[in-house]
């Protein structure tokens, strides 16, 4: 199924919720260090409930090591700086979606490596800054899964 990459996530409950989401959708979750928490942190475990044992969580020491290990066929950056609405691409099984840290998003150095059609955005009211990370992952993953007729 899909791969979700969290680049330097900072807030344990968000990652816990994303672990639960990935477990329920049979997606692999990739965490790129440094993390803003320990994986055994109580808040992370509480948010993920008992789904940790059903989730595939892979840690990477850097963005580059994630690319070398995962070798994604297609990768989409998800950012408020994107110009392509998340429902525009035709998603395929095995697509990879990368999300930045909650307080600052993906760095420009990473975003510049992507063709603009592979930088996705979620439309929101113009006075809004961003959507919660776990909610953004859910919105984009469910659209990709819907396009693939909810096949695992």
For the stretch 100-122, pLDDT in tens is 999 999 999 999 999 999 999 99
pLDDT of 145 > 90? The answer is yes
Flag whether 51 is in a domain: yes
CATH number at residue 92: 3.40.1280.10
Confidence band, pLDDT 50/70/90 cuts, at residue 45: low
In a domain, 35, yes or no: yes
Structure tokens at 35: 């993390």
Cut 0.85: pTM above it: yes
Domain count for the chain: 1
The answer to whether residue 75 sits within a structural domain is: yes
Does residue 152 lie in a domain region? Answer: no
Domain residues for 57?
3-147
CB 126 within 8 A of CB 133: no
Question: Under DSSP, is residue 82 helix (H, G, I), strand (E, B) or coil?
Answer: coil
Is 115 a domain residue? Answer: yes
Indicate whether 59 pLDDT > 90.
Answer: yes
Domain presence at residue 30? yes
In a domain, 9, yes or no: yes
């Amino acid at each position: 199924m899909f791969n979700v990459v969290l680049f330097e996530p900072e807030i344990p409950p968000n990652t816990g919720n994303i672990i639960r989401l990935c477990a329920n959708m049979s997606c692999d979750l990739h965490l790129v260090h440094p993390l803003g928490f320990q994986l055994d942190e109580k808040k992370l475990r509480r948010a993920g409930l008992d789904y940790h044992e059903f989730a595939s969580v892979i840690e990477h020491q850097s963005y580059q090591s994630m690319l070398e290990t995962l070798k994604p066929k297609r990768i989409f950056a998800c950012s408020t700086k994107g110009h392509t609405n998340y429902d525009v691409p035709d998603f395929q099984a095995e697509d990879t979606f990368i999300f930045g840290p909650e307080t600052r998003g993906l760095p420009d150095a990473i975003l510049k490596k992507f063709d603009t059609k592979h930088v996705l955005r979620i439309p929101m009211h113009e006075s809004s800054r961003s959507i919660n990370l776990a909610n953004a992952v859910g919105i984009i993953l469910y659209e990709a899964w819907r396009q693939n007729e909810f096949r695992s």
